[in-house]
């Protein structure tokens, strides 16, 4: 990660502008400035955190694939922290916004995955992916589909008026933990030389996680302001937070895939979906009951369907086609357009 002096100066100016706006200007201005600063901090800090975790894992002797999985968690740390900060506001509206932002983030990852499939399959005719490339991810995808389906059925049984009990999130977290343990046990033992010292790795992790925490707090302030002051619905506020928290980070994976790093881009986007459901939603469900209203149930069902389609398409013929990409995009666009009407 390369940081130029100009970039440091810009961040310093933005930070000073935020402090000045809090002290001397209206709350609307301070929230706006803080939100812009938060987005920038999250975007750049995520790069540092991902790089630091990746180098630390490699230095510890883990395989490159497992190191990539561990570092990808940092890419979704923003969604988790924004949701947790919103829960700390202790109001029904912000809790619902936190829940919906996590699920919508998963849906946006599916949307980006569909766009990536369309772009690449249009150029190549199809996106070819070997089964071995997502061997472990395939098992996790199946588990995520089952989790989403079970919660969807529970919501339908309770006529979309029930709640997922508080504490149930431990099971979601255990599913992902089992996946990581399986990855660790089955990894190929290879000696890997990491060029970074522990001192540089520690600096990357400190800057990365510090920036992510600060940025996530600033982003969550907009969510509270949007719901309580602007009187936006929790669904619309969650959509805004999810778009700005998800698209910049995972858009980088799309650019990388378009440049030839296909497996990395595909794995990052698939990991983004499963982590939003199992880790982010799991953490939220540990702390508060999750309302199973119409939109939540429908979004979970769509995530399950899209993941099932992607997994089946790869395992069937080891390729993703243009038609499958179009279907995934249309499905997610439909949900985003109708999200207010779905909240019955």
The 10s digit of each residue's pLDDT in 47-91 is 787 778 778 877 777 766 666 677 677 777 878 888 888 888 777
- Domain residues for 154? 5-187+199-337
Under-70 pLDDT residues of the chain = 1-4, 63-68, 71, 130-134, 187-196, 247-265, 267, 339-344
194 in any annotated domain: no
Based on C-alpha coordinates, what's the Rg of the chain? 20
Rounded Cα distance, 257 and 33, in Å: 32
Considering only CA atoms, which of 245, 296, 300 is closest in space to residue 81?
245
Q: Is residue 118 part of a domain?
A: yes
17 CB neighbour count, 10 Å cutoff: 17
Go through 313-341 and write b for each residue having 16 or more CB atoms within 10 A of its CB, e for each that does not.
Answer: bbeeeebbbbebbebbbebbeebbeebee
3-state secondary structure at position 150: helix
> Which two tokens mark 327?
């279907």
What stretch of H or E contains 58?
helix 27-59
Query: How confident is the model at residue 238, as a pLDDT?
Result: 83
How many other C-beta atoms lie within 10 A of the C-beta of residue 42? 27
Length of the chain in residues, anyone? 344
- 192 in a domain, yes or no? no
Torsion of CA 65, 68, 72, 73, to 10 degrees: 80
Cβ neighbours around 10 below 10 Å, total: 12
Cβ atoms within 10 Å, residue 186: 11
Helix, strand or coil for residue 49? Answer: helix
Residue 257 lies in a domain: yes
At residue 306, the 3 state secondary structure works out as helix
Kindly state whether residue 81 falls inside one of the protein's structural domains: yes
For residue 168, being part of any structural domain is answered with yes
Number of domains comprising the chain:
1
Residue 268 is assigned to a structural domain of this protein = yes
Cα separations in angstroms, 148 against 1, 39, 305, 327: 36, 29, 9, 19
The set of residues, in sequence order, having a beta carbon less than 8 Å from that of 344 and lying 6+ positions away, is 160, 293, 294
CATH code assigned at 183: 1.20.1420.30
Q: What is the pTM of this model?
A: 0.82
């Amino acid at each position: 990660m390369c940081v130029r002096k100009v970039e440091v100066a810009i961040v310093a100016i933005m930070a000073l502008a935020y402090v000045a706006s809090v002290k001397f200007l209206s709350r609307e201005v301070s929230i706006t400035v803080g939100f812009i600063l938060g987005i920038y901090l999250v975007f750049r800090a995520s790069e540092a955190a991902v790089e630091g975790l990746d180098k630390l894992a490699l230095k510890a002797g883990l395989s490159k694939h497992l190191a990539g999985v561990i570092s990808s968690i940092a890419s979704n740390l923003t969604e988790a922290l924004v949701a947790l900060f919103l829960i700390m506001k202790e109001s029904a509206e912000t809790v619902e916004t936190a829940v919906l932002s996590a699920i919508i983030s998963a849906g946006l990852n599916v949307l980006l995955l569909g766009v990536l499939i369309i772009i690449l399959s249009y150029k190549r005719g199809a996106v070819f992916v070997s089964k071995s490339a997502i061997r472990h991810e395939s098992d996790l995808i199946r588990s995520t589909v089952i989790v989403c389906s079970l919660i969807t059925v529970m919501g339908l049984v309770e006529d979309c008026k029930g709640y997922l009990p508080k504490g149930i999130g431990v099971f979601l977290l255990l599913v992902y933990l089992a996946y990581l343990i399986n990855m660790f046990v089955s990894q190929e033992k290879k000696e890997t030389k990491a060029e970074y010292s522990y001192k540089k790795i520690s600096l990357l992790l400190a800057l990365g996680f510090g920036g992510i925490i600060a940025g996530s707090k600033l982003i969550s302030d907009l969510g509270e302001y949007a719901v309580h002051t602007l009187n936006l619905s929790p669904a619309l506020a969650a959509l805004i937070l999810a778009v700005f928290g998800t698209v910049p980070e995972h858009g980088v994976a799309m650019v990388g895939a378009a440049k030839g790093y296909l497996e990395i881009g595909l794995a990052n986007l698939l990991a983004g979906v499963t982590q939003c459901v199992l880790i982010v939603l799991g953490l939220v469900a540990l702390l508060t009951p999750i309302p199973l209203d119409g939109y939540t149930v429908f979004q979970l069902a769509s995530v399950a369907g899209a993941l099932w389609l992607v997994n089946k398409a790869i395992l069937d013929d080891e390729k993703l086609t243009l038609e499958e990409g179009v279907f995934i995009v249309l499905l997610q666009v439909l949900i985003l357009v109708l999200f207010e009407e779905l909240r019955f």
